[in-house]
Amino acid sequence: MAATETYITQSPDIACSTLGDDTIIMSTLDSTIFVLNSVGTAIWQGADGATPLSRIVQDKVCLEFDVTGDEAMADAKEFVDELARHGILSVSSQPVSPGEVL
């Protein structure tokens, strides 16, 4: 059986900006500010709802950083779950078309 892919989408209720290698995200729901480090930023930038997480890790994290695919993928899953808990990222098993809100 094929493993289920994970698709991630940035929440519409945020404003974000990149500062150096980091990304600063502000939730408009509760005025919380989030700061992502360089690897977190690479994952965040790939969160377009159409690219599977495995591809984001392969094309962005593994190409740019000195890490194995397995380690990067395990960390990315943990990271994505945390962002989803904070409500700034949506996680889906299906691709999300632009403008579609989960």
Write out the residues near other proteins by the rule CB under 8 A.
26, 30-40, 42-43, 61, 63-67, 71-72, 75-76, 79, 82-83, 86
Nearest CB to other proteins, comparing residues 59 and 82: 82
Question: Rounded distance, CA 41 to CA 2, Å?
Answer: 28
As given in the structure block, the two tokens for residue 63 are 């190409």
Nearest CB to other proteins, comparing residues 47 and 96: 47
DSSP code at position 69: H
Min CB(66)–other proteins separation in Å: 4
Please say whether the dihedral angle defined by the alpha carbons of residues 70, 38, 7 and 28, taken in this order, is positive or negative: positive
